[in-house]
Amino acid sequence: MPSVKQLDEMSRMEIDRIDRNILVDVKTVDIDTSLPIKNRMLRYLEQIKNPYCFLCGGTVVKVRFSDTGKTLDEAVKDHYFGLKNL
Integer Cα distance of 61 and 26 in angstroms:
10
- Quick one: pLDDT at residue 57? 92
Integer Cα distance of 61 and 57 in angstroms:
10
| CA distances (Å), origin 15, targets 32, 52, 76, 78 | 29, 10, 20, 24
- Quick one: pLDDT at residue 82? 87
- Quick one: pLDDT at residue 81? 86
Contact 44, 29 (CB under 8 A): yes
pTM (two decimals): 0.73
24: pLDDT strictly greater than 90: yes
